[in-house]
A and B are shown apart, each in its own frame.
Chain A
Amino acid sequence: MTAVEPSVVPATPAARRGYGRWVAIAVLVVLAAAPLFLAPFATSTLSRVLVFALFAVSLDLLVGVTGLPSLGHAAYFGSGAYAAGWTSIHVTAEAPVPLLVGAGVGALAAASTGWITARSAGVFFLMLTLAIGELVGQVANTWESVTGGANGLTGVPAVRIAGQPLANAGFTHWYVLLVAALGFALVWTVARSPFGDALRGIRDNEPRMRALGYSTSLYKYAVFVLAGGVAGMAGSLLVAQQRLVSTADVGFLISSLMLLAVVIGGAGSLWGACLGAALVVVVRDALGPTLDGHGPLVLGIVFVAVVYLLPRGAAGLLGRTR
C-alpha cells in the first residue's frame, strides 16, 4: 500500500495557470515600483527579502521537490557570497562577473561535497548536510587571507553596470530583483520539466524509481549541484545588497531559518518558499529591533502554529501543491 492520504481535489490546471500568470506579473510590477515609494531602509529590506527568497527557492528544490531536507544549504550561499565579494574587491565588480563567479563557486562547492550526500536520504541526508555546513563555516572562519576570518569580508564595492556603480538602494534593488527573477524562473522551469517529474518521483518513492531504471543518485547529485549554484547566485546578491560578508552568512542559523521558511511556505511550492523567506527576513531584520530582540521567539511561535494549523504551509491554503 502507498502511505498517502487522499488529496484535495485540484482546481483545473488551466484555471490555475490563468490567474497565476496575472498574479506573478502584478507582484513583479509592485516589486519593481517599490523603490519609487519606499524609504531607503524599507527598500533595502525588500531587497534582502528577494535575496533570501531566491535562497529559499533553491533550498525548496531540494526539500520540497526532491524530498531531501538540507541543514547545510547556507554553505553554498556563503561560498557564493564570499566568492562574489572577493572578486568584486580584487578583480572586478562589473556585472555580471560577481554574479557568475558566485553561482559558479556555489555549484562547484556543491559538486565537490554532493557526492557524499547523493546516496543518502532523510535524516542521514539532514545530518550529512549539517556536518558539511559546519565544515564550510569553519573554513570561512579560519581562512583569513581570503575571507577576512571573524571580521568578515568588508569594503566590497558596489556592483557596476557598464562602468556605473549602483550607488543607491533603488538601483541595487532593481539589480537584485532582476537576478532573483531570473533565478526563480530557472528553478521554476526545472521543476516543471521531465527532470523535475523524476525528482518528484524520487521524493515520493525512490526505490520504485530505481526499479523503473532511473539512477536516482545521479539525479540527486545533479539537483544538489543546481541548488548549490542558485544558492551561490543568491549569495552574490547578498554581497551586492549589504556590501560585506560575515561568517554568520555561512552558518547553521541561516540554514535552519531558511529550512523554516520553506516549511512555513509549504514545501514543494516555490512561491510559498518566497513567502516564508519574506516572513523570516521581516520578523528577524525589520521587526527584530522593535521586538526588543525577541524576533527568534516570534519565529518559533509562528513555526509551531504553522505546523499545527497549516501542515502543508501557506501554499496549502490554495489547494494541491506539486
Chain B
Amino acid sequence: MSALTCTGVGRAFGALKAVDDVDLVVEPGARHALIGPNGAGKSTLFKLVTGTLRADTGRVELAGRDVTGLSEVRRSRLGMSQTLQHSSLFGSMTAAETVVLALRRHDGSRITPWPRRDPALRERAQESLTGVGLGGRGDTPVPALSHGERKQLEVALALACRPTLFLLDEPAAGMSPAERARLVELLSGLPEEITVLFVEHDLDLVFALADAVTVLHLGRVLLSGTPADVRASDAVREAYLGAGRREELFTR
C-alpha cells in the first residue's frame, strides 16, 4: 500500500486549470520530489494534498484511507505534516514554546485550561530543537531567529507532529549553501517510517535527496520515475528550457 495516492486530482481557478487530472503515487519510505517550472502547479497540488485547498475532482488517499473530504486539521491528526514555502511561525513565542504547541497536540496529552508543569515536555522540545541544530536557541523569541534558523524551526515544528507523511514546500528557498547542506543532511537522516514528499526548485538538492521524482508541467504530470529517468528525459529538458514551445512556433 502506498503512503499517498492521488487519483485524477484537479483544481481550477476560474478558467485556469492549475492542477489537471494528476495521478501521483508516493511509496512508503520514499524521498519523493515534485519538480517543474514556475507555474507548473506544484504548490497548488501540495495544498490539495495537505487539505489547505479542496480538490474539484479526484481522490486523495493517505495510506489507503480516503481523505479527500477531510479538513486540514483531520489530515494533520492522521499523520500529515507540512512546512510552508514562506516560513510561517508564531511571532510572540520562543523556539521552544513553538515546538511545544505541536508536541502537545500530537502526543495525546490534553490541552487543559489550567496550567501544567511538564518537564518531560520541555525536554522533548529541547530534543527536537537539537535534532534540527537549534539546540542552544530554545529560549530565543522567533522574531530574533535568522531566516535559516526559522526554516530549521519549521522542520522541527513539522516533525514534532510525528508525521507518517512529511510534506515540504520549497524547504531550501532563500537558504545559504551551508544551510542547504545541513538541510540535506537532516532530511536524509530521517527515519524510514517517515515518507517525505517535497517541492523544490533546486535540482542539485533534488538529485542529492530524492529516490523518486514527479515532474509537473502546466498542471499535468509530465513524467514520474527515478532521478535517472528524469535526467535522461528530453521532455523534461524541453519543459524547463521552453524548447517545446519554440518548436511549436516554427512548425505552425
Check if A197 sits within 8 Å of B143, measured CB to CB: no
Q: B residues within 8 A CB of A3?
A: 91
Give min CB distance, B68 to chain A, whole Å: 18
Interface size on A, residues (CB 8 A): 34
Which of these, A194, A197, A208, contacts B88 with CB under 8 Å?
A: A208
Check if A1 sits within 8 Å of B91, measured CB to CB: no
Some 19 contacts from A to B, beta carbons below 8 A apart, are: A1-B87, A2-B88, A2-B90, A6-B144, A189-B114, A193-B113, A194-B112, A197-B100, A197-B104, A204-B90, A205-B90, A210-B73, A212-B76, A213-B76, A213-B105, A213-B106, A214-B73, A215-B71, A226-B113
Give Cα A198 to B109, complex, Å: 13
Check if B76 sits within 8 Å of A211, measured CB to CB: yes
Q: Is A220 an interface residue (CB 8 A)?
A: no
Q: Is A7 an interface residue (CB 8 A)?
A: yes
Q: A residues within 8 A CB of B141?
A: 6-7, 10
Contact surface of A with B, Cβ cutoff 8 Å: 1-7, 10, 189-190, 192-198, 200-201, 203-205, 207-216, 226, 322
Q: B residues within 8 A CB of A190?
A: 113-114
Instruction: Name B46-96 residues within 8 Å CB distance of A.
Output: 50, 52, 71-73, 76-77, 81-82, 84, 86-93
Interface size on B, residues (CB 8 A): 41
Give min CB distance, A68 to chain B, whole Å: 15
Q: A residues within 8 A CB of B161?
A: 212-213
Given A197-B101, A213-B73, do A208 and B115 touch, yes or no (CB 8 Å)?
no
Given A4-B142, A197-B97, do A211 and B82 touch, yes or no (CB 8 Å)?
yes
Give min CB distance, A270 to chain B, whole Å: 14
Q: A residues within 8 A CB of B112?
A: 193-195
Report, nearest first, the 4 A-B pairs whose CB atoms are least far apart: A4-B91, A213-B76, A204-B90, A195-B113
Q: A residues within 8 A CB of B101?
A: 197-198, 201, 209, 212
Give Cα A204 to B115, complex, Å: 20
Which of these, B72, B109, B111, B142, contacts A211 with CB under 8 Å?
A: B72
Check if A193 sits within 8 Å of B106, measured CB to CB: no
- By secondary structure, the A interface counts as helix
Give min CB distance, A307 to chain B, whole Å: 20
Check if A204 sits within 8 Å of B92, measured CB to CB: yes
Give min CB distance, B148 to chain A, whole Å: 12
Give Cα A193 to B141, complex, Å: 19
Given A190-B114, A193-B112, do A214 and B105 touch, yes or no (CB 8 Å)?
yes
Which of these, A194, A198, A213, A322, contacts B92 with CB under 8 Å?
A: A322
Q: B residues within 8 A CB of A201?
A: 90, 93, 101
Check if A213 sits within 8 Å of B115, measured CB to CB: no
Q: B residues within 8 A CB of A5?
A: 143
Q: B residues within 8 A CB of A226?
A: 113
Q: How many A-B residue pairs lie within 8 Å, measured between CB atoms?
A: 107
Which of these, B109, B113, B143, B157, contacts A212 with CB under 8 Å?
A: B157
Specify the chain B residue showing the minimal Cβ separation from A268.
Answer: B92
Q: B residues within 8 A CB of A214?
A: 73, 105
Check if A2 sits within 8 Å of B91, measured CB to CB: yes
Which of these, B105, B110, B150, contacts A2 with CB under 8 Å?
A: B150
Give min CB distance, B206 to chain A, whole Å: 24
Q: Is B116 an interface residue (CB 8 A)?
A: yes
Given A4-B143, A190-B114, A194-B104, do A205 and B72 touch, yes or no (CB 8 Å)?
no
Q: A residues within 8 A CB of B222?
A: none
Q: Is B209 an interface residue (CB 8 A)?
A: no
Q: Is B25 an interface residue (CB 8 A)?
A: no
Q: Is B210 an interface residue (CB 8 A)?
A: no
Check if B102 sits within 8 Å of A212, measured CB to CB: yes
Q: B residues within 8 A CB of A210?
A: 71-73, 76
Q: B residues within 8 A CB of A10?
A: 141
Given A190-B113, A194-B111, do A7 and B144 touch, yes or no (CB 8 Å)?
yes
Give min CB distance, B140 to chain A, whole Å: 10
Specify the chain B residue showing the minimal Cβ separation from A194.
Answer: B111
Give Cα A193 to B50, complex, Å: 29
Q: A residues within 8 A CB of B72?
A: 210-211
Give min CB distance, B5 to chain A, whole Å: 21
Specify the chain B residue showing the minimal Cβ separation from A216.
Answer: B73
Give min CB distance, B99 to chain A, whole Å: 11
Q: A residues within 8 A CB of B113?
A: 189-190, 193-196, 226
Give min CB distance, B48 to chain A, whole Å: 14
A-contact 0/1 string along B181-210, CB 8 Å cutoff: 000000000000000000000000000000
Give min CB distance, A27 to chain B, whole Å: 21
Which of these, A4, A195, A207, A216, contacts B111 with CB under 8 Å?
A: A195
Check if B143 sits within 8 Å of A6, measured CB to CB: yes
Check if B115 sits within 8 Å of A193, measured CB to CB: yes
Check if A198 sits within 8 Å of B111, measured CB to CB: yes
Q: A residues within 8 A CB of B84?
A: 208, 211
